[in-house]
Amino acid sequence: MGNMDAPALLWFRQDLRLADNPILAAAGHRPVLPVFVLDEAAAGRWAPGGAARWWLHHSLAALGAALAARGAPLLLLRGRAEALLPALAARTGAAEVLAGRLYEPWARARDERLAAALRAEGRRLVLLPGALLREPEQVRSGSGRPYAIYTPFARAVAALGDPPPPLPAPERLRPVPEAPEGEPLAALGLLPTPPQPDWAAEFPALWTPGEAGAQARLARFLAGPLRDYGAARNNPGTEGTSGLSPHLRWGEVSPAQVWHAALAALGGDRAAARPFLAELLWREFSYHLLWHRPEMPEAPLRPRFAAFPWARDPALLRAWRRGRTGYPIVDAGMRQLWRLGWMHNRVRMIAASFLVKHLLQPWQDGAAWFWDTLVDADLASNSASWQWVAGCGTDAAPYFRVFNPVLQGERFDPAGRYVRRFVPELARLPDRYLHRPWEAPEAVLRQAGLALGRDYPRPVVEHAAARRRALATLREVAEDDAA
């Protein structure tokens, strides 16, 4: 393990927590220097988007306070990690840089460069698991190959048993004798700044970034929605989901802790816990795919789809982004996304399907918008889920599944609580017409104070015609793929 008396650099990345953090356990009683490097050049187009940057700012503030309270303040740096960290290790005499494993292709390439730079100076980069329940190499099919289908993957992970129990947070940390000065948090420029409007103004009403916020969100979920998760998670008008995705994305809570806490809250009843644990396993599956198929964020995993004849239309893409498609459940989701940096899981599927299938816009354009606007934007989950909806992933929705946005709205938001909240111009429409306002008689529209085409758009496409066009186009590609 190198010189166990020499200091260690604790390189925080997507593990912004103290509890169940293997890098803290591996540091032992050595002097430590916690450091975070904003390295946007290495990430390139996958540097955090606007909403994720907002989250990161507040998460770093929380982590910095928690580390300072334990005696070792967080050093903030900006620039290329493979240059900054070897210099910092040399300056402090650190023998090792301890970091949580990352799985994104750009991060893996950077880790290799950093490891080589440290090795040249007689130092080590030590990468530790902690972001997943199981490492991608641990989960192999009977033939030894990676999994391409979710269900056998989930069974294989379950067969490995529960993840190890979570580790406690350290009481105290031993700091390096003379820590260098870093950047102040504000200098990282993570928050929206004038003359930009403060598009994140409503975020704090819903979110508390940081480890304490993650623990509070977990406790709230365990005490309420978990018990009815199987049914309630599909209803966007109620708080039926965990809301843990951004906390997991930034590693403010470990998936192992969430797994054990959910089981404990249900008295160990695995059948009752299964619907929620399956969501954690979908996250695992997304990382498994990303690790073995690093092209996933940019290229379809089914090669035939590379030549898909998209009908690119900037006006349609803009209408979708702004929540102005004329389909209320889609528009409510897109406006929720813009206002709160998050969208309900069921509505993500509906909105994504609408973009790809009704509008025939490339899934990569939808994924890019989600990347910039979601506080939980996660490269593995975002790209795996978009490929699933588009039908071009390894384990995809069948091409002929085209969500009907009217029926989806009526089924999952029957009382209209969700649509009325996020599309208030429709609030006075009766339930009967809320998800199909174009069918409302003129008198009903007048009574609701609504003029279609002025207060709310008419549908940008007609559902039946769009469905026929999507099926004809998709069938051609899918049949070629099967040939």
Which one is catalytic: 345, 404, 410, 425? Answer: 345
CA distances in angstroms from 384 to 51, 68, 270, 295, listed in the order given:
20, 38, 26, 11
Q: How far apart are CA 336 and CA 347, in angstroms?
A: 10
Residue pair 423/334 in contact (Cβ under 8 Å)? The answer is no
Q: How many residues can be counted in the chain?
A: 483
Which one is catalytic: 11, 291, 363, 371? Answer: 363
The DSSP bridge partners found for residue 78 are 38
Q: How far apart are CA 465 and CA 461, in angstroms?
A: 8
Which one is catalytic: 11, 259, 291, 386? Answer: 386
Catalytic, 282? Answer yes
Angle at 53 between CA 48 and CA 57, to 5 degrees: 140
Q: Is 39 helix (H, G, I), strand (E, B) or coil?
A: coil
What six digits make up the tokens of 138? 């641990």
Which one is catalytic: 3, 239, 282, 410? Answer: 282
Residue pair 72/182 in contact (Cβ under 8 Å)? The answer is no
Q: CB atoms < 10 A from the CB of 68, how many? A: 14
Catalytic, 235? Answer no
Catalytic, 345? Answer yes
Which one is catalytic: 135, 310, 438, 476? Answer: 310
Catalytic, 310? Answer yes
Which one is catalytic: 40, 135, 279, 476? Answer: 279
Q: How far apart are CA 150 and CA 359, in angstroms?
A: 28
What six digits make up the tokens of 464? 């039946």
CA distances in angstroms from 291 to 36, 69, 286, listed in the order given:
24, 36, 9
Catalytic, 259? Answer no
Q: How far apart are CA 200 and CA 202, in angstroms?
A: 6
Q: Where are the alpha helices (DSSP H) in 189-323?
A: 203-206, 211-223, 229-232, 245-249, 255-265, 270-292, 314-322
Residue 11 φ/ψ region, left for φ over 0, alpha for ψ in the -120 to 50 degree band, beta for the rest: beta
Whose tokens are 């793929």? That residue is: 481
Q: How far apart are CA 182 and CA 159, in angstroms?
A: 46
Q: How far apart are CA 138 and CA 126, in angstroms?
A: 19
Whose tokens are 């528009």? That residue is: 331
Burial of residue 67 (CB within 10 Å: 0-12, 13-18, 19+) is buried
Catalytic, 388? Answer no
Q: Is 33 helix (H, G, I), strand (E, B) or coil?
A: strand
- Positions marked catalytic: 279, 282, 310, 345, 363, 386
